[in-house]
Amino acid sequence: MVQERILPGFQAAQVQITKAEGLCLYEDMVLGRFFEDKCAEMYYLGKMFGFVHLYNGQEAVSTGVIQAMRPGEDYVCSTYRDHVHALSAGVPAKEVMAELFGKATGCSKGRGGSMHMFSAEHRLLGGYAFVAEGIPVATGAAFQTKYRREALGDETADQVTACFFGDGAANNGQFFECLNMAALWKLPIIYVVENNKWAIGMAHERATSQPEIYKKASVFGMAGVEVDGMDVLAVRAAATEAVERARSGEGPTLIEALTYRFRGHSLADPDTLRAKAEKELWFARDPIKKFAAYLIEQNLADQEELKAIERKIQAVIDEAVKVAESSPEPDPSELHRFVFAEDE
């Protein structure tokens, strides 16, 4: 059996957060978890169709990175496992749920479904179904920020782009080509590898000659960081440093977050390939339970405050389902609309 790469994470003495920050992080992670659990329920009730890939277990990565950025200003680029990235970026739960239901009120107007979340308002550049497809898009977004600032003299152009992708994408050509360009031009981008150990049914260690992905950054003279993706404070600390580096013109960072998905590759996956012992090892490191215990231990919250957040989020999810169910289907007369950009 391959030795598990598990990091100890940040300790209380290393990371200082306020009560407000802690509760905000907890709420964002709970939103992601509750939303995905409801998606599973709706999928099995026949309310959603196609492939639906859930994010359970990886919430600390989305929350830790995106909450270290400027909501509505910085860019976020996702994968086919994109619901929670959308939520962390500020897309309302009702719009994400409606999109999953294929309704006109969805963030992609019912055209995208589970794998193609998009919101110009929230700077969400999209979810992408093909592996590594979003990496060039995110690199282009970072390039336009640098071009506007340096070539066009736009001093307001200081946005940072976060590009999320899985360990499987790190073996694709786009990964290497884009890292090379980003390092060469010192683009303001953070490449976030969510290494959940499995690319569909292929174990990470069997698919790559160098399983420690963050080390590949050194080839391009780029900062590379390995972080405990089950520890929201560790992810947030690494992301904060990377954001500061990017925004100050020092260039990109490759963050490898060691994490684990608690469900199969998609809701159509019976999840029989992964060993029970492996699952149990990672289930015991649930990032939400771990952070809840930390908040209580550090006297930043008590059980009732955390329960109140959970009740609040449950109400948000229930309302999102009601909106999705009652929203209209896209009008057939608009079948060809939104293929191209429209004048404002």
User: What does each of the 344 residues of the chain score in pLDDT, given as a tens digit?
Assistant: 345 676 655 444 467 899 999 999 999 999 999 999 999 999 999 999 899 999 999 999 999 999 999 989 999 999 999 999 999 999 999 999 999 999 999 999 999 999 999 999 999 999 999 999 999 999 999 999 999 999 999 999 999 999 999 999 999 999 999 999 999 999 999 999 999 999 999 999 999 999 999 999 999 999 999 999 999 999 999 999 999 999 999 999 999 999 999 999 999 999 999 999 999 999 999 999 999 999 999 999 999 999 999 999 999 999 999 999 999 999 999 989 988 888 76
The model's pLDDT over 284-333, given as tens digits with 9 standing for 90+, comes to 999 999 999 999 999 999 999 999 999 999 999 999 999 999 999 999 99
CA 179 and chain centroid, separation: 19
Max distance between CA atoms of the chain, in angstroms, equals 60
- DSSP for 222-264, written as a single string: -EEEEEETT-HHHHHHHHHHHHHHHHTT---EEEEEE---SS-
β-bridge pairing 161-166 and 223-228: unpaired
Is residue 179 within 8 Å of 220, Cβ to Cβ? yes
| Spatial CA neighbour of 219 closest among 190, 259, 179 | 179
Tokens representing 101 are: 């239901």
Is residue 126 within 8 Å of 137, Cβ to Cβ? yes
The model's pLDDT over 244-275, given as tens digits with 9 standing for 90+, comes to 999 999 999 999 999 999 999 999 999 999 99
| Spatial CA neighbour of 25 closest among 56, 61, 54 | 61
- pLDDT the model gives residue 8: 57
CB-based contacts of 151, cutoff 8 Å, min separation 6: none
Is residue 54 within 8 Å of 265, Cβ to Cβ? no
> Where would I find the H helices in the chain?
19-44, 59-66, 83-88, 93-100, 134-150, 173-185, 204-207, 232-247, 276-283, 287-297, 303-326
Domains in the chain, CATH or no CATH each: 19-297+317-324 (3.40.50.970)
Confidence (pTM): 0.95
Give whole-number Cα distances, 279 to 37, 41, 273, 275, in Å.
Answer: 18, 21, 11, 6
Q: Which amino acid is at 13?
A: A
Tokens representing 190 are: 């953070």
Gyration radius of the chain's alpha carbons: 19
